Structure 1
């Protein structure tokens, strides 16, 4: 995290004031400042980065973890080049490993960059090449779609018909844009586990079923498979905070002024000129009594659409609730697996799926809909330190320590409303029990302890994320994702609001969600008229 020394703005008028110093706000600030605009970024917390930060959550443990957001797929390389960022990602040789039990035998599905290894894994699991062939065909389809759609994310929004023509494949369009994704999954795959592995990308941070008529699952799936035109999810070298530190450096180097510990409380505009009122935050993290005001030609808001409405004094929308449990851990060693055919360093190198068979996902969803925590909570894990050990202190690397990050599905905010702490602990216990079911030793035996002797494991619910980061309902996307074409009222870039000089530059903009910098780039382009 980049902690900054400024305590108040140096001026009272700017070409652009950006509310929120998350990665999108920093992208917008860097582009605008490089174009010669005077830019002020106001951040409520005492550091920039928003959800894309690295922290040391465990006392006395030299492990700098990507605490809230983990992997990079949707960040266009031209943004890295345009802004001269000192930032790199590393690819993973393993896409995923999914443990299961077949005929009483511990086994699993390994999806590897080596096609022959993946074919062998499918054959061992299912007894034939059929599912492997269907897998290859389906992901060839998504890659073709990704190659055609991804370059459009940083251009003015295409119309629906323009994007359909660009995709140029009626069958792909029907499967991904028109019909519930469950139909495509069920028509192509027969094995329940394989179906589940495919569906998981449609449910990350999105609470719905495979056949939801809203197609929320389709939109979520699309953003998970088009990144970079390949759908690859890469590891940020140095952790996610390395990206936002580089963005903050780029913005400051270009002349942007970054002020932390100041919370915007009101935005007033007549469409051509705006005033932003803010208050310095006190030691308790609450806005103090002293109000300050700056003028701006444009105001860009990296906070949620709900927060923007509140700043403008308008009726806020009701956002879709978040639905995830996030768990960060540090281990003294990787646990041994019941499936002895795969090395733990291979199994945890990609995405490790837990209780994510197709039927299991639907059962967990139905339980959550009925108001109960899932008894078999689905989740997925990845190990940053296997690909990038730089997040660990040298001594920890030498001792074989590792980080594990878990993302739990189908855990909507409503389930934590009555007793957040109790529900958090119950779901944490149930989730780790599902992992233990596939391990040859208890995970607890592998966990490191902090300076106070406590296990290095922390869990964050949607309500925790709302409190920590002001994510409405804990929704990591600020609301439902959109298809990447122009919906009614979306505007030219998908960042416009009902006020000509007030723009969204965060995850709640069209083509938002995930660590991409796309909304920040597009808001800057809207200001610059490009």
Structure 2
């Protein structure tokens, strides 16, 4: 017997929960099918270390792109705490570094001066005035039907700025704007999170990544979710349940037909069929193509990349739990300030290019570029009372230029150990003491360090090639000649199949913890009814 629903959502990540809440609030009969036994997808908190009272944001860690409109519409109780310090970047091999203090421009200018980068102080201020102009113009549009490229350019209203950050490789603009190698690298890292690209990227994929990283909230600020990332997904789950959505975990979707019938297996092994007027796909376009192929259609029946080969992630993530913050080679900087923002390691402009070249040649970079986030400094609530009292802290290391092409199913375990060692060595190169001496141990006596490769992300979360964006990011607008003649196309969630919509990171304006794709898919459904 085939069960009937108004909407079935495949995947209970934060975007699927967002869509479920909106559609259930509108009175639709909605069911979410989540393969794992917990909801939230990559936006979860977890006890990563056995017997240790610390709930880490295991995969995603900061929030910038979640619109206030979604928070208000769904009545979410979410606290996003700002970080006083933007970043600290040690000079590789030196005993000084660049500290960018959001609250003290004079201190920031002095830090530039200590690097002999005085000429870049004014350039820095002007450059980020430009990104904030982009943010104010473009971020309010991400929860509206798509603008065209011409409309987006007109909304920005500054052709010189548009050309510098949209039409020309952003790495080239950065190289033309700043003179200091370290300063250039700090700026360019926003173009590389989850993206494998050289410093001068003719494909402009780095530009797209950069744009999403600087427009969030209309400011570009990245904030810490109080209570961990699980608090964000938990609120979305609460909103969806209160609205009346049915949320089913342990539900493995095995096929989708062109008639919008979803075949799925529950936690007990019983197979079900559910038919719906609308099917929202909160998984990658590659996963959608696989489900269609298992149904009654081939992958070629879908558009917008659903039949494209899987994208490639380019990162490794390492979670650490320390007895205290490490001492720095730069004794003038308090570790609490250095780790209070984004801590960049070995991310000068030249180091980023060198690491890219080595990885593109099939080698693990000799020096891994990475950045670090200390959630517990801004939000100690993720630690149990005893850990907080002891002075313990979490560190999340997000390493760049480690593309999935370096890994195979056969070498994943060995590569995890190799990459973990490389990341810790990169970190140790800028510290005054080895990080290993500060690692706490879990209930089994093992050091509190956890490393996730691209293959791990594919296995656990079904991110194709470990791509945190489900594929290459798209511009947050439509091209001028692109048809916008259906609700799905207008909202950037089209798959080429009527009634089947993307609502995850693979949608237009997807990526990051934002809920935007879920919101937009829900709006397309409501507009089409």
Q: Same fold (TM over 0.5)?
A: yes
Query: After superposition, where does 1:256-335 map in structure 2 within 5 Å?
Result: 256-270=245-259, 274-281=260-267, 288=269, 290-313=270-293, 314-315=298-299, 316-335=307-326
SS at match of 2:165: helix
- Which of 503, 506, 509 matches 1:508? 506
Task: Give CA-to-partner distance per residue, 1:92-119, whole Å, 9 cap, x none.
Answer: 0001000015xx7500000111212111
Structure-2 residue corresponding to 1:466: 458
TM-score with structure 1 length normalisation? 0.94
Per-residue deviation at 1:439? Answer: 1.2
Structure 2 counterpart of 1:118: 108
Residue equivalent to 2:448: 456
Does 2:359 correspond to 1:368? yes
* SS of match in other structure, 1:498: coil
Counterpart of 2:24 (choices 33, 38, 50) is 33
Q: Who is 2:349 aligned against? A: 358
Other-structure match for 1:72:
63
Q: CA RMSD in A?
A: 1.4
- Mind listing any 5+ residue stretches in structure 2 that lack a counterpart? 300-306
Q: How far apart, in 1, do the equivalents of 2:182 and 2:193 lie?
A: 17
Q: Secondary structure at the match of 1:406?
A: strand
Runs in 1 of length 4+ with deviation above 6 angstroms? Answer: none
Aligned partner of residue 298 in structure 1, secondary structure? strand
Q: Name the CA distance, whole Å, in 2 between partners of 1:482 and 1:105.
A: 39
**Uncovered stretches (5+) of structure 1, i.e. residues with no partner:** 1-8, 283-287
Aligned match of 2:518: 520
| Residue 41 of structure 2: aligned partner | 50
Q: Helix, strand or coil for the counterpart of 1:110?
A: strand
1:169 aligns with 2:158: yes
| Structure 2 match to 1:383 | 374
2:417 aligned to 422, 425, 435, which one? 425
SS at match of 2:244: coil
Matches within 5 A, 1:137-216: 137-216=126-205
In the other structure, the counterpart of 2:304 is none
For residues 320 and 244 of structure 1, the distance between their equivalents in structure 2, rounded to whole angstroms, comes to: 25
Q: Please state how far the C-alpha of 1:86 moved relative to its aligned partner.
A: 1.5
Q: CA deviation at 1:260?
A: 0.3
**Contact 2:256/2:291 (<8 A) preserved:** yes
Post-superposition shift, 1:16? 0.5
Distance (whole Å) between structure 2 residues aligned to residue 489 and residue 23 of structure 1: 29
Does the 8 Å CA contact 2:214/2:220 hold for their aligned counterparts? yes
Residue 319 (structure 1) shift:
2.4
- Cα deviation digits, residues 391-428 of structure 1 (max 9, x gap): 00011100000000000000001111151121221121
Cα displacement string for residues 435-462 of structure 1 (whole angstroms, at most 9, x for unaligned residues): 1111111111111110111110010100
Report Cα offsets for 1:204-227 as digits up to 9, x if no partner: 000011212110000000000000
Q: Which residue of the other structure, out of 216, 220, 225, is the alignment partner of 1:236?
A: 225
Give, in angstroms, the shift of residue 489 of structure 1: 5.7
| CA distance in 2 between partners of 1:251 and 1:228 (Å) | 23
Residue 309 of structure 1 deviates from its aligned partner by 1.4
Q: Describe the SS at the equivalent of 1:218.
A: helix
Q: CA deviation at 1:269?
A: 3.0
How many residues are paired up?
A: 509
